[in-house]
Structure 1
Amino acid sequence: MATNIMTCAAIIVAAGVGNRAKRSSDTVAKQYVRIAGKPVLCHTLIPFLESEDIDFVKVVIAEGDRSLYDCAIEPLLSDYPESLLKAKLLPPVIGGDTRQSSVLNGLDGLADHKLDNVLIHDAARPFVTRQILRRCRSALQQHKACLVATPVTDTIKRVSQDGVIEATIDRSTLWAAQTPQGFHFDFILEAHRRAAQSVTAAFTDDAAVAEWAGQPVRIVEGSPSNTKLTNREDLDMAEQALSGIKPATQPLTDARMGTGYDVHAFEPGDGVIIGGISIPHDQKLKGHSDADVGLHAITDALLGAIADGDIGTHFPPSDPKWKGASSDLFLKDAMRRVADRNGKVSNIDLTIICEAPKIGPHRPAIRARIAQICDLDLERISVKATTSERLGFTGRKEGIAALASVCVRLPEPQD
């Protein structure tokens, strides 16, 4: 249970039909399809039950699905204490004809619990993490509404009805919405009730209801792995991913160390970006991308640990597509490459070497940003800063250097 005074519940929307995701052998909706030995809904519930930021969980199910729901949560009965499940997993509520009406039924079912916040999540997103839930809970301390999303990285085209490209869309301000979506409970309950009475068109998500009610919605960065299972291929990939990380079959005993080193020179400007954080300064760092010397060093360290080239191999400075690119894209790609090998990052240790600007005041923000990008607990991120005692190019204030060390755990190679 959460120790924070503010109470937070989660609504898991599992009332859909989900026909597109059915495989030929499946006879139930996708949230009840078994992958890696458990129904999708069971996998989705686990991070919410394990999170200290969630006090209650209520699932919205379709009429007639109670037996499927009971089967879906049956594995939890052996994995978690009965006292936890009784206290945290509330009885399910029956949904409506649309997602919007199903969410309203879930909210009404929680109205007597005097909640401060609520997170609304799709049952078909089994890869949500406790770190994402923590970021949502944190955002709701200052905002009434938040939406988990990821920056759009693919080139987006507007196409005519006959299949001809009309324009290339500027993706710099585009984000792909995910769930959970978080809200102050009283606000979103009232907004949904008003929407049900006043609007005939259905909303595609709960953030749209908040926008309709006039409430700004804060973006919370999600994860590319927090995907929704939409079609049969998604179920197959989820099966492989969840089966591949079973500790019993693939213990992560192959520990790999990696180091990364990066340097960027100063040029005229008004600030530097280090560790994903903008720091005011009388110069900026010169580079093809945003010249984030810290994230570049970590990226190289991760690639080194898995023997997968370096940052220049995957993101060559000769390629104009990376001109001015945000370096978190490079780091996320390196983390993806670790995940593709069923690996996990144990820790990241970053040292920044410069005379100026002062890193100390920004160290907490840099640690938090790296943890966010890598979807790791803050305690696994170390950031230090030092000078070179006025020796060398850093001592002459000609640039900044960064050194990173990481530990990656991979499954033991099979003979």
Structure 2
Amino acid sequence: MEPSVAAVVVAAGRGVRAGGSLPKQYRQLAGEPVIRSSLSLLSWHGQVGAVQSVIHPDDRTYYDAAAVGLKLLPPVAGGASRQASVLAGLEALSTSAPDIVLIHDAARPFCSAELVSRAITACAETGAAIPALEVTDTIKRVDAQGRVTGTVDRSELRSVQTPQAFNFAALLEAHRKAARDGRQDFTDDAALFEWAGHKVTVFAGESGNVKLTTDEDFAKAEARRIASLADLRLGNGYDVHAFCEGDHVWLGGLRIPHDQGVTGHSDADVALHAIVDAILGAIADGDIGKHFPPSDPRWRGASSDQFLKFAVERVTKRGGKVAHIDVTIVCEAPKIGPHRDAMRKRIADIAEIAVDRVAVKATTSEEMGFVGRREGIVAMATATVRLPWSW
């Protein structure tokens, strides 16, 4: 049986060294908050069953904007130190008590899914494991005046990263013991775990899994993120459904009252279907009919939001991002204008992007053709996707 896994994302710090008016975990990096990369990675990871964020109470608005559309546990308030914040996250998970817990810093936006998997595997084998890199620079010991007093043997030294992985019950008890003893000086969870008498092993980290601390770090990270998603793709989608007897239509993820219904695949949401095909087209991954064939009874009457989530996940698994969605709905009725903003928000929530990255437009066919005769409804969509560059 596979172990159950949860993750604690530590995001309660203020990040003053990074500059700017926001805590560093909420600063924008290539168009999205830094913390969203970690939240998205962990919430989508197939082995992680729950993601518990720990935030500063004053940052809830920033956090909610960064976490929109992601499946996460409600955040909890952190403490005066990183150690206290981790304990708050662990206590919040104590009712479900996973087998393994990952502790990850919100300011490490370049962690990969492979690193998360390695952390889980290593912890399952040893009980506690942390990602580490060999120290390649020469290390000097210096005194208070800046004079070199010795050269340190670097063969036994490692620089460590997150996510750090532990047996949940053992880490929770170790944190509780440290709190009882008044110890608040541990720089990471591995140090605390060692102090409590447990062994910790290391596994291969990633050189790119850097922690953003200074303004210079952000400048480098911005350039790296833009360069890493240099493969810009555009995809187009088109869908049409006929009207039938009914009292509503589904459009853009919304149930809109109407004097007719529509026939077609699943709930016949032409807007979402066109968007799905546009995203799949951008990554050359077939179309909605390939992945969700109308002949399969599982999709009869199904909600189309799951199709859009699937398409976005296909992009995410390739290390990419959906950058923009533009959909045009063509019909004589119902009127789209009163629902436009709600559609934009719903599409943005499903696709896990900001609402200003979604455009919804509407027009009629000037009473020409089957649309003009009110026999059906059409949607056309364009999706912009960014993928890591590869040949």
Normalised to the residue count of structure 1, the TM-score between the two structures is 0.55
Determine which of 2, 11, 22 is the counterpart of 1:14. 11
Hey, what's the Cα distance between the residues in 2 that align with 1:32 and 1:201?
A: 26
Kindly indicate whether residue 46 of structure 2 is the aligned counterpart of residue 52 of structure 1.
yes
Q: Please state how far the C-alpha of 1:71 moved relative to its aligned partner.
A: 1.2
Kindly indicate whether residue 90 of structure 2 is the aligned counterpart of residue 107 of structure 1.
yes
Hey, what's the Cα distance between the residues in 1 that align with 2:99 and 2:178?
A: 21
What amino acid is aligned across from residue 191 of structure 1 in structure 2? A
Determine which of 122, 126, 138 is the counterpart of 1:143. 126
Q: Please state how far the C-alpha of 1:45 moved relative to its aligned partner.
A: 1.6
Does the residue aligned with 1:243 lie in a helix, a strand or coil?
helix
Determine which of 8, 23, 30 is the counterpart of 1:29. 23
Hey, what's the Cα distance between the residues in 1 that align with 2:233 and 2:41?
A: 21
Kindly indicate whether residue 58 of structure 2 is the aligned counterpart of residue 64 of structure 1.
yes
What amino acid is aligned across from residue 38 of structure 2 in structure 1? T
Hey, what's the Cα distance between the residues in 2 that align with 1:205 and 1:219?
A: 14
Contact map agreement 2:101 2:167 (CA 8 A) in 1: yes
Kindly indicate whether residue 110 of structure 2 is the aligned counterpart of residue 127 of structure 1.
yes
Kindly indicate whether residue 205 of structure 2 is the aligned counterpart of residue 205 of structure 1.
no
What amino acid is aligned across from residue 179 of structure 2 in structure 1? A
What amino acid is aligned across from residue 16 of structure 1 in structure 2? G
Instruction: Give the equivalent residue in structure 2 for 1:187.
Output: 170
What amino acid is aligned across from residue 17 of structure 2 in structure 1? R
Within 5 Å, give how 1:382-397 maps onto structure 2.
Answer: none
Determine which of 196, 199, 210 is the counterpart of 1:227. 210
Q: Please state how far the C-alpha of 1:46 moved relative to its aligned partner.
A: 2.2
Q: Please state how far the C-alpha of 1:49 moved relative to its aligned partner.
A: 2.0
Within 5 Å, give how 1:148-163 maps onto structure 2.
Answer: 148-163=131-146
Hey, what's the Cα distance between the residues in 2 that align with 1:69 and 1:47?
A: 16
Q: Please state how far the C-alpha of 1:27 moved relative to its aligned partner.
A: 1.1
* Number of equivalent positions: 239
Hey, what's the Cα distance between the residues in 2 that align with 1:72 and 1:186?
A: 30
> What CA deviation, in whole Å up to 9, does each residue of 1:96-135 have, x standing for no partner?
0000110000000001113100000100000111111111
Unaligned runs of 5+ in 2: 235-318, 320-387
Does the residue aligned with 2:203 lie in a helix, a strand or coil?
strand
What amino acid is aligned across from residue 70 of structure 1 in structure 2? D
Change (3 A) 1:104 1:201: closer
> What CA deviation, in whole Å up to 9, does each residue of 1:216-253 have, x standing for no partner?
101011011111001000011111111112255389xx
Does the residue aligned with 1:138 lie in a helix, a strand or coil?
helix
Aligned Cα root-mean-square deviation (Å)? 1.9
Instruction: Give the equivalent residue in structure 1 for 2:339.
Output: none
Does the residue aligned with 1:141 lie in a helix, a strand or coil?
helix
Contact map agreement 1:244 1:250 (CA 8 A) in 2: no
Q: Please state how far the C-alpha of 1:410 moved relative to its aligned partner.
A: 5.1
Instruction: Give the equivalent residue in structure 1 for 2:34.
Output: 40
Within 5 Å, give how 1:16-415 maps onto structure 2.
Answer: 16-22=13-19, 26-74=20-68, 77=69, 85-86=70-71, 89-249=72-232
Hey, what's the Cα distance between the residues in 2 that align with 1:64 and 1:250?
A: 38
Does the residue aligned with 2:9 lie in a helix, a strand or coil?
strand
Contact map agreement 1:60 1:92 (CA 8 A) in 2: yes
Hey, what's the Cα distance between the residues in 2 that align with 1:200 and 1:177?
A: 21
The structure with the largest alpha-carbon Rg is 2
Hey, what's the Cα distance between the residues in 2 that align with 1:243 and 1:94?
A: 32
Instruction: Give the equivalent residue in structure 1 for 2:277.
Output: none
> What CA deviation, in whole Å up to 9, does each residue of 1:162-188 have, x standing for no partner?
111111111111000111111010000
Does the residue aligned with 1:91 lie in a helix, a strand or coil?
coil
What amino acid is aligned across from residue 37 of structure 2 in structure 1? H
Change (3 A) 1:216 1:162: same
What amino acid is aligned across from residue 9 of structure 1 in structure 2? A
Contact map agreement 1:9 1:54 (CA 8 A) in 2: yes
List, as ranges, runs of 4+ consecutive aligned residues in structure 1 with deviation greater than 6 Å: none
Hey, what's the Cα distance between the residues in 1 that align with 2:47 and 2:146?
A: 46
Unaligned runs of 5+ in 1: 78-84, 252-343, 345-408
Contact map agreement 2:230 2:389 (CA 8 A) in 1: no
Does the residue aligned with 2:154 lie in a helix, a strand or coil?
coil
